Amino acid sequence: MKTTNYKRFEELEDKYFGKIGTPERDDYEFDLIMELIGEKIRQLRLKNNLTQSQLGELIGVKRAQISKLENGNHSASVSTIMKVFQAMKAKVKFRIETDDMIEFAF
């Protein structure tokens, strides 16, 4: 059996999910981000002693949409994600980096 020695995690990501900038890698990174956001929504909801239905009522969506968000199975709008976190009194910050390294947050 042939073994390959990987020196960095990024090498494994490149092999299994594609190199940075490829559609496959972009899909992988988007799915990962949505899963992380979903987990944070679940954690905050439970910390605030809210059911999915209660959180949905607070922001005007159905329980099913909250469930999809928490499970990373839904590409919600930024507006919906912001409403969810605001309903639970959490701050959301976005950081944008451009090729010329100008950074700003809002």
Q: Specify the residue for token string 């005007």.
A: 60
Q: What is the pLDDT of residue 106?
A: 53
Q: What is the pLDDT of residue 2?
A: 63
Q: What is the pLDDT of residue 64?
A: 94
Residues of the chain predicted below pLDDT 70: 1-4, 6, 74, 101-106
| CA–CA separation, 72 and 69 (whole Å) | 5
Quick check: helix, strand or coil at residue 64? helix
Q: Which two tokens stand for residue 31?
A: 């799915």
How would you write 68-95 as a 3-class SS string?
A: HHHCCCCCCCHHHHHHHHHHCCCCCCCE
CATH tag, 9-105: 1.10.260.40
Domain ranges of the chain: 9-105
| CA–CA separation, 41 and 55 (whole Å) | 10
Q: What is the pLDDT of residue 105?
A: 56
Q: Are 85 and 48 in contact (CB under 8 A)?
A: no
Q: What is the pLDDT of residue 93?
A: 82
